[in-house]
Amino acid sequence: MTQDTSEQSNQPFDFETENKYLKLTITALRNQIEKLQINQEEKIQKTKSDSADEISQLQNTVNALRSEMEKSQISKEEDIQLAVAHANNENKQLKGTVNNLRDSLEKTQIDIEDRIQQSIMVVNDINKQLKKTVNSLRDELEKIQIRQQEQIQKAVTGTNDENKQLKETAHSLRDRLEKKDAQRMEELQLAEKNKFEEHSQLKEIINILREKLEVQNSDEN
């Protein structure tokens, strides 16, 4: 390739041939461009036609949708008006119900407050009565305790007196018993003495009788 290039560079350049070739190329390109422009214009016209048809269809569709929407809006507005009227009636009824309930609640609260006040008065009266009863019972209990204390003191005093009397009686009985014991001892001692003396006398009598019996027996012999 280096040799071909060097050979071409050594040969003289043919401007006419080159110009002719360039003109032919330009003519061919121009024709091609014109064909392309014609084709492009046809496509554009077709696109415009198709777009016009599509736009017409879209406009028809939009008009139909607008008409349908207007009808729907009218129907919706009527529905909305009916709903608003129904809501207003319902709100009016609810307001009436709320007012009635508020009045009933206020009356109920007043009734409850009256009942509470009455209950408080009753409770206060009961508390007063209970306090009086408690005070009365406390006084009665104190009196009972005082009486019981007095009775206990009397019982203790009586018991002490009775114990004193019993002690005195016990001492008196002990003295009398001791005297009786002493007297009994004297009597026993005297009885023993009398028995001893009687026994001695009986022995003497027996001895005397025995001696007499022996004397008689000896005399008979």
Summarised one tens digit per residue, pLDDT across range 97-139 is: 777 778 777 787 787 778 778 878 887 887 788 888 888 888 8
Residue range 192-213: mean pLDDT, rounded: 80
User: Measured between alpha carbons, how far is 200 from 195 in angstroms, rounded to an integer?
Assistant: 8
Residue range 151-170: mean pLDDT, rounded: 79
Provide the residue ranges of all domains of the chain, joining segments of one domain with +: 16-60
Report helix, strand or coil for 203: helix
Is residue 57's pLDDT more than 70?
A: yes
Residue range 198-202: mean pLDDT, rounded: 80
Angle ∠(67,72,74) on CA atoms, nearest 5: 95
Is residue 91's pLDDT more than 60?
A: yes
Summarised one tens digit per residue, pLDDT across range 178-190 is: 888 888 888 888 8
Is residue 17's pLDDT more than 80?
A: no
Q: How confident is the model at residue 148 (pLDDT cuts 50, 70, 90)?
A: confident
Characterize 24-49 residue by residue with b for buried, 16 or more Cβ atoms within 10 angstroms of its Cβ, and e for exposed: eeeeeeeeeeeeeeeeeeeeeeeeee
How high does pLDDT run on average in the chain? Answer: 76
Is residue 215's pLDDT more than 70?
A: yes
Whether the pTM exceeds 0.85: the reply is no
